[in-house]
Structure 1
């Protein structure tokens, strides 16, 4: 289902240099979050929080939010934005679920790195770490698919956004094999950004984009532990 992208009700966000700023994929996932709803006091985990935009919205909606990111600047940014907007959010530095132990959640949000990249090594620092995810774009997505079932309570939901370029059908299959009821719940088309435009020749050679493509399709995967 194609949707109109949400915009936050808070007026501003601070984004430190090197931290992924909210953009089309953020707003698509926020739209899905608002459609999903949050019961008051529900436990929410925001994986790869970046600026903290999604964590803030979940807290506004009544969730008890834990936000994690592997980048120190992202952790600092999310903490600062929570402070500026007077929201109580627990922000931790973590490689996905490594710092949250055996806890489980009612809702897990994730906007992972998903951009296919000619580089075989995943960046460990700098801004590209927020989007580059190996030649098939699935280096982090597959890890989320592996770990998400154990992080969800019965009835809990994972909402994850990524590009059609990294095979949404594979994401649905992997989550389904993990015991979740998974499907594509939303789609949106956004103009190709500077990162994709800079590697158009490589993407075309791999058959991921055609010469006529001017837009990227984003999807939200919804997976529920029934």
Structure 2
């Protein structure tokens, strides 16, 4: 794929989501995104901080990163310090720490893996991938809340699996007045999480009988000027 960035590296202690193919796909989209000088960038659900650090490397950007996990916040702060880059890293649930602010670019690699119903919300490391029965527990909130934080001409880049319905993402974002499309795709083998719930996914007809590959997509949505 043109612009594919290759492996993204960051220190990831236990319980923090390590950069994987979805991170790499989003980094490729980020590198192709033009940004004005002094652009304000938000990385929501930053995990290890890999995306926020990549944005800070652009220069001329003011980068804020948010994660609900204190362990992830500490890892992201350490990785930013090791990279000698300034990233403002906040702990909180999605957009709560940045209410009242606006951004030229919002990056999101949220939990998106469909998961069997449970009486409990995802805990520990599973918060980085488990996203409810349809995989949209966090995606729908991003589609609802992110448009209100974009400046005119601002862009949202969000990566998720085709298992969690990209068409629904596009419909929500277009309904909010954004111009939205899928700009990148990549097919990868099932990872450990999907392999562990293959039977359930097949019962729900989310994957075909012999399919052991998953498609990742990047959705780009822009708020018209």
TM-score range, shorter chain: over 0.9
CA deviations on 1:89-126 (whole Å, 9 max, x unpaired) are: 00000101101111000000000000000134563531
The 10-residue stretch of structure 1 (118-127 or 73-82) with the greater mean CA deviation from structure 2? 118-127
Judge conservation of contact 2:110–2:139 (CA < 8 Å) in 1.
yes
1:5 is the counterpart of 2:4: yes
Judge conservation of contact 2:56–2:86 (CA < 8 Å) in 1.
yes
**TM-score, length of structure 1 as denominator length:** 0.95
Aligned residues: 223
Structure 1's unaligned 5+ residue stretches are: none
What is the Cα deviation at residue 13 of structure 1?
1.7
**TM-score, length of structure 2 as denominator length:** 0.95
RMSD between superposed Cα atoms in Å: 1.4
Judge conservation of contact 1:111–1:160 (CA < 8 Å) in 2.
yes
**Structure-2 residue corresponding to 1:204:** 202
Spell out structure 1 runs of 4+ moving beyond 2 A.
2-5, 37-40, 119-125
1: distance between equivalents of 2:145 and 2:120?
A: 19
Q: Secondary structure at the match of 1:36?
A: coil
2:101 alignment partner, one of 103, 110, 113: 103
2:31 alignment partner, one of 31, 34, 37: 34
Q: Secondary structure at the match of 2:98?
A: coil
1:58 is the counterpart of 2:24: no
2: distance between equivalents of 1:216 and 1:4?
A: 20
2: distance between equivalents of 1:220 and 1:13?
A: 21
**Cα separation, partners in 2 of 1:3 and 1:56, compared to 1, 3 Å:** same
**Structure-2 residue corresponding to 1:82:** 80
